[in-house]
Structure 1
Amino acid sequence: MNWQAMKSIYLFEMARTRRTLLQSIVSPVLSTSLYFIVFGSAIGSRIQNIEGVSYGSFITPGLIMLSLLTLCISNGSFGIYFPKFTGTIYELLSSPVSMPEILVGYVGAAASKGLIVGAIILGTAYFFVDVTIQHPLLMITFFVLTAITFSLLGFIIGIWATNFEQLSLIPSLVIPPLTFLGGCFYSINMLPPLWQTVSHFNPVLYLVSGFRWSFYGISDVNPWISLAIIIAFLGVCLVLVSWMFRTGYRLKS
């Protein structure tokens, strides 16, 4: 295992975060703080408690997941797409660095950035709403697995994309609707039966629901099912990345 190669890739990607601190850290934290102010304080004061939890507290896990998914996909996709765009990917592929080492470097950095911002948002939430974490170990498990899984998804998007329009296609047109319709701001039990059934086909529902259960012990889906789905999705992403590297899909041409 080439630890120096993984460290170099990881540190290079993390250094890019330091150079764009306002965009990478400050901007998502400020945006989420506005959600807390508008939805948690202004609107939340006019909404009844949801399953015994105030509305502002209820949406906190969803807001953290919203930021985590968006940032991990964005960082994971841009991290591998930029070397493709500049042509430096060929130097990396011709060097004595294996696929797992490249993967750990890029995906590890993307996940780290998402976890840092997510942790800051969690800390910020305490200034606006009452937050309780009943199952901290499970919360960390959901937190880390989600960051790694969606950083991998971003990595796949970065390899698949051939231009900047494709690079932003899935993060801007697919992920936000799935996130907003995945129970971030409401419980699916508040929906009509038909839409409750439809919501169960949304993978983001399981992430948000499991993550919320680790906070308050309430969820729309069994948390262990949510955990199993995250692990299964992670496995699918790993298989797909392995195929891309093995065949050279959009990497060697």
Structure 2
Amino acid sequence: MNLHAIWAIYLYEMKRFFRTVMESLLSPVISTSLYFVVFGAAIGSRIDEVEGVSYGAFIVPGLIMLSVMTQSISNASFGIYFPKFIGTIFELLSAPINFLEIVLGYVGAAATKSLLIGVIILATAEFFVDLDIQHPFAMMAFLVLTCVSFALFGFIIGIWAENFQQLQLIPLLVITPLVFLGGSFYSISMLPPAWQTVTLFNPVVYLISGFRWSFFGTADVAVGYSLLAIALFLGICLALVWLIFRTGYRIKS
């Protein structure tokens, strides 16, 4: 394995991130603060507790997941789409590196950026609510798996997209609604029975539920199902990436 090539791609992507570090890091801090003002203060003042947890603390895992998922997709999709757009991807494909090394460089950088943002949002949340994370290692595991899985998904979107508008299509029209409807700001046990059943078809529910369990020890679905869901999604994304490079779909043409 060509570690120098992986490191070169990774470092290039990270430098691009740090060139806009204020916008990249300040934006999630401001967004998180606004969510706490609106949901934590305005709405939370009317809700005592959710599953034995203050409402302000309850929404923290959902806020982190919302940012991590969207940022993972955005970073990875733009990272691979831009070389396609300006034509430098052919230089990358003709270099003595294989598809696995290309994926590790781009996806690793995108996952690292999202992980940093997730940690910053968690630190920001500490200024608003008291958090006592019951399973810190499980929390980091869920966070890393989510960053990697959705960075892979973003990489696929970047290959598929033919213009900048398509880069934002799936994050805006699919991922964000699924996160908002996946129990980010409420427990699905608060829904009527029929809607609880419908909500279980939302794959994001399992990710948020497992991540929330790592914070508070309570979950809407069993933790095993959450791990199975993220492992399945990761496996599907890996298979699709392999198929893309195997066939040259929208890369070599």
Bin of the TM-score, shorter chain as denominator length? over 0.9
- The equivalent residue for 1:103 is 103
Secondary structure (helix, strand or coil) at the match of 1:174 reads: helix
1:79 is aligned with what amino acid? G
Q: Give distance in 1, aligned partners of 2:124 and 2:32.
A: 9
Output aligned runs, 1:60-209, within 5 Å: 60-209=60-209
Q: Is the 8 A contact 2:157 2:167 kept in 1?
A: yes
Q: Give distance in 2, aligned partners of 1:210 and 1:125.
A: 19
1:149 is aligned with what amino acid? S
Q: Which whole-Å deviations, capped at 9, do the CAs of 1:109-160 have from their partners, x for residues lacking one?
A: 0000000010011011110011111011111110000000000000000000
- Provide structure 2 residue ranges, at least 5 long, that are not aligned to the other structure: none
- The equivalent residue for 2:235 is 235
**Which stretch has the larger CA shift, 84-93 or 165-174?**
165-174
Q: Is the 8 A contact 1:41 1:128 kept in 2?
A: no
Shift of 1:41: 2.1
Q: Is the 8 A contact 2:32 2:125 kept in 1?
A: no
Q: Is the 8 A contact 1:75 1:154 kept in 2?
A: yes
Shift of 1:38: 1.7
Secondary structure (helix, strand or coil) at the match of 1:85 reads: helix
Secondary structure (helix, strand or coil) at the match of 1:186 reads: coil
Q: Give distance in 2, aligned partners of 1:5 and 1:29.
A: 33
Shift of 1:20: 1.1
Shift of 1:48: 2.2
Q: Give distance in 2, aligned partners of 1:27 and 1:240.
A: 31
Q: Give distance in 1, aligned partners of 2:69 and 2:12.
A: 22
2:148 is aligned with what amino acid? I
Q: Give distance in 2, aligned partners of 1:175 and 1:61.
A: 16
Q: Give distance in 2, aligned partners of 1:83 and 1:222.
A: 41
- The equivalent residue for 2:51 is 51
Q: Which whole-Å deviations, capped at 9, do the CAs of 1:149-203 have from their partners, x for residues lacking one?
A: 0000000000000111111110111111000000000000111111101111101
Q: Give distance in 1, aligned partners of 2:252 and 2:25.
A: 33
Q: Does 1:222 align with 2:232?
A: no
Q: Which whole-Å deviations, capped at 9, do the CAs of 1:24-80 have from their partners, x for residues lacking one?
A: 111122111111122112221111201110000000000000000010000010000
Q: TM-score scaled by structure 1?
A: 0.98
1:186 is aligned with what amino acid? Y
- Provide structure 1 residue ranges, at least 5 long, that are not aligned to the other structure: none
Q: TM-score scaled by structure 2?
A: 0.98
Q: Give distance in 1, aligned partners of 2:23 and 2:252.
A: 31
Q: Give distance in 2, aligned partners of 1:15 and 1:145.
A: 23
Q: Aligned residues: percent identity?
A: 66
1:159 is aligned with what amino acid? I
Output aligned runs, 1:19-38, within 5 Å: 19-38=19-38
- The equivalent residue for 1:17 is 17
Q: Give distance in 2, aligned partners of 1:79 and 1:67.
A: 18
Q: Give distance in 2, aligned partners of 1:188 and 1:18.
A: 38
